[in-house]
Amino acid sequence: MIFHFAPLLLLLSCTSVQAEGIHVNLARRAPVRHDTAYFHGLAEGIRAKYGFATAADHARRDNSKRASTSAIPLINLNADAIYLGNVDVGTPKQSFQVVLDTGSSDFWVGATPCTSGCSIGASLYDASESSTHSDSGARATIRYGKGEVTGDVAQETVSLGGFTVQNQTFIKGDRVTENLVNDDSSGIMGLAFERLASTESTPFWQALAEGDELTSKEMSFWLARSGIDQTSQTDVRFGGVFTLGGTNSSLYSGDIEFLDLVGEPAFWTLDLKEVSVQDQNIELTESGSLSAIDTGTSLIGGLSADVARIWNAVPGALEVGLQAPGFYVYPCDTELQVSLSFGGKSWTIDPEDMNLGAADLAGELCLGGIFDLTAGSNVGPGAGNPGWVIGDVFLKNVYSVFRAEPPSIGFAQLSSTAGGSAPSGDSRNTGNDTSSASFSGPGKMLIIVISVLSAGLLSAAI
């Protein structure tokens, strides 16, 4: 197997990166292993999220449309499955860990009184404790891949990494599908465009961009890779850095290659142009090349014919069948060489990320990180749904930048720092501290140190 064991320390060193953000370097505990059924559940959620559900109700995506820098450390849950950031809501502020999801646009947190499904270990929003709460009198339901959340629509003061939006629309979730989010998460902050929002409101990040609150109208991710702990049920780990309002040059090398979004901004979408597997170029379905770049999705999903061709290029690969429809296994001693191109450079995926773990008791066959997104669905390519969903299996291998003007996505090679080598400099135990630094000019930047929480075994594909 290709799993690594991460240090059991949690260290942090912070240095200002002028007009770019704050570099944050931490170690983390190793996450637990998962079985085939777990990843099958993730895949079902992803299919539903992007309109390829075969049984579950899929996400509602047809609502009509609609600047400073801060680097926010992320928390990595469930073997690189979910990445969280810290959000403050209300006056005085109430703090919540939420999923940062570029594949959706609504913002919600669990709220009191919650009648069902709210995370046991997570904080709940209490409107009675806030002087800036305003209830709209409406209720709404947001549907995701693996369930839904229902609650009152309200406006509040919302802050992330030192940036604040007044009267931000959000949903106070009081009925949540069980296991929609992990026990450590209070909700989801969508980072896609307003066109997707069920509440028909401007997403938090977009409000900052349109209000010229950001030094650069972009946000960027370094998603850190975790090792696997064979025994631990709960553990602490660091998940990377989310930079709002710019980039962090210490986390990437060379130039950022930007590619324009395809179509009207809704999802963050690019056309997948080339896939190479074991040095073989794979023929792709042209009408189904639209790809959603989604930090809230763990895996890579694609059209049935394309995924079959990919695994046909891997000697010994087999389709799993009924236990996990759309998934493939391959000999664990095979080092998968997979790369993707969206019209420019070709980006290689680390074999470790392609290997989801042993799928049989003998440990001879391993589950692959690319699955059939459209398995069993009667929705064909070109129906308006992205034919590919590019999640964290790929995104852990690049520095990714999501830019509002012009609407585009950029990728860059990870630096040696982001690849795991710790830079020199002061470090300290973070605990629950929060510190900040500011500078004069049109924007501001803050260092937000968030506590890294224990993680359970269950999560959903958001």
Cα angle 424, 430, 432; round to 5: 160
Q: Are strands 107-110 and 163-176 parallel, antiparallel or unpaired?
A: parallel
Q: Which residue from 239, 244, 246 is spatially nearest to 160, judged by alpha carbons?
A: 244
Say how far apart CA 47 and CA 39 lie, in whole Å. Answer: 12
101 is catalytic: yes
Q: Of these residues, 80, 229, 235, 294, which one is catalytic?
A: 294
Closest CA to 451 of 5, 97, 178, 109: 97
Three-class SS state of 66: coil
**Residue that is written with structure tokens 């709960």 in the block:** 234
Let me know: does 370 contact 354? Beta carbons within 8 Å.
yes
Name the residue among 43, 452, 1 with its Cα closest to residue 229: 1
Measured CA to CA, the distance from residue 51 to residue 401 in angstroms comes to 25
DSSP 249: G
Residue type, 435: S
Of 80, 88, 101, 235, the active-site residue reads 101
271 is catalytic: no
Of the candidates 240, 235, 242, 251, the residue with the CA atom closest to the CA atom of residue 9: 235
Q: Closest Cα to residue 51, out of 332, 237, 246, 288?
A: 288
**Element at 69 (helix H, strand E):** strand 69-77
Q: How far apart are CA 78 and CA 401, in angstroms?
A: 24
- Dig out the tokens for 404 from the structure: 């509002």
What span, in angstroms and rounded, lies between the C-alpha atoms of 404 and 244?
Answer: 12
Active site residues: 101, 294
